[in-house]
Amino acid sequence: MAQTNRQRPPRILVLEDSHLDAELIREHLATMMSPPVIHYATNRSEYVAALAAPDFDVILADYSPPDFDGMSALDMARDALPEVPFIFVSGILGEEVAIESFRRGATDYVLKQRLIRLPAAVDRALAEARERIERRRAEQQKELLVRELSHRVKNTMAMVMSLVRRTVKTSNGIDDYVDKLLGRLRAMADAHALLFETNWSEAELLEVVRRTIAPQDRNGKRFELNPGALTMLSPKAALALSMVLNELATNAVKHGALSHEHGTVHISWNRRDDGMVNLLWQEIDGPALHIPEHQGFGTTLIDRSIRYELQGEVTLDYRPTGLVCNITFPLDAALPYSPG
């Protein structure tokens, strides 16, 4: 069925060989609130040609057209345009024939002696067709959402399982393991909550940063933010950056600037002319740092999240006054994406 557009009148195919009856049908249809555009077919060949152009909202057919019969016309319409309402407009239509026509897919029938019923019958058929289309569209959307939810749940569970396995391998005792794992899971949960609030469409980078650092900035004085232009992140980018920022914040509390009373962290970002987003994490007044001999899971998580999830680059500079992390990724990676 053609999409019923409120900006255009309905299009109706009328199969009728009688010029007088066709004129009467036209006059009655002209009384509709939205007078239709009518295409006439007077025989089988014209009807077949009309069905090949699926741009009709309703089909009206005489039960006794020339060179074939009404039931054949109904069957042809159901094969070619199964979603388009089909209404018989006939001088005589017995009860048994009417029942058989409904069984084979007819929507209604109107006797030519009572054409005054025709506009209401067409309006009702159009309304029912629109309702079917909307119901099917809602069902398709529901199915799409269920598939997408299943996909996200599987990805989330896979990530949780990976975090559990990798965290236990790099933890020093049960308390350290619990702290690290809960922190990483909290970062995931916060990012998911933010995306849920935005209907899982996109999230602002500033809000992602604020939510991720909030657990480590209870007095609101340990972090200094210098946001650049408004930057919207896709769900994938928001989750990746949340995990990265959580690792940086956790490390700053345990070993970096936030382990000192007066240490602070400066976070800034900007969008460059070459289409890249540059985010700078800079720890101030922290302890002197040394390049670690072995790369822990936190550093691996940061590197892989930026390189594989955002197709970006990350550098970690262990300066005497604190860690400096420079993250660069293409702006396209920050834009909303369509789930595959």
The distance from CA 294 to its chain's CA centroid, rounded to whole angstroms, is: 42
CATH superfamily for 178-334 is Histidine kinase-like ATPase, C-terminal domain (3.30.565.10)
Q: In DSSP terms, which residues pair with 15 in a beta bridge? A: 41, 61
Domain range 11-135, its CATH number among 3.40.50.2300, 3.30.300.30, 3.40.50.800, 1.10.8.80:
3.40.50.2300
The distance from CA 170 to its chain's CA centroid, rounded to whole angstroms, is: 38
- Token pair belonging to 1: 């069925």
Cα 284 from Cα 184, distance rounded (Å): 24
Domain parsing of the chain, residue ranges: 11-135, 178-334
Give the DSSP H/E element, type plus range, for residue 254.
Answer: helix 235-254
Distance between start and end Cα atoms, the chain: 28
Query: Do the Cβ atoms of 226 and 264 come closer than 8 Å?
Result: no
Amino acid at 228: G
Cα 36 from Cα 33, distance rounded (Å): 9
Cα 294 from Cα 254, distance rounded (Å): 17
Going by C-alpha positions, the residue among 93, 49, 99 that lies closest to residue 69 is 93
- Per-residue tens of pLDDT for the chain, all 340 residues: 554 445 678 999 999 999 999 999 999 999 998 899 999 999 999 999 999 976 899 999 999 888 888 999 999 999 999 999 999 998 877 788 888 999 999 999 999 999 999 999 999 999 998 898 888 888 887 777 667 656 656 666 666 676 677 677 777 788 877 887 788 787 777 777 776 776 667 889 999 999 999 888 877 789 999 998 888 888 888 888 988 998 899 889 888 999 888 899 999 999 888 889 999 999 999 888 778 777 777 888 899 989 988 999 999 999 888 899 999 998 775 554 444 3
Cα 259 from Cα 63, distance rounded (Å): 88
What integer pLDDT is reported at residue 338 of this predicted model?
Answer: 41
Within 8 A by CB and 6+ apart from 290, the residues are 318
Cα 22 from Cα 20, distance rounded (Å): 5
What integer pLDDT is reported at residue 118 of this predicted model?
Answer: 94
DSSP state of 36: P
**Helices 174-197 + 118-169 axis angle, to 10:** 160
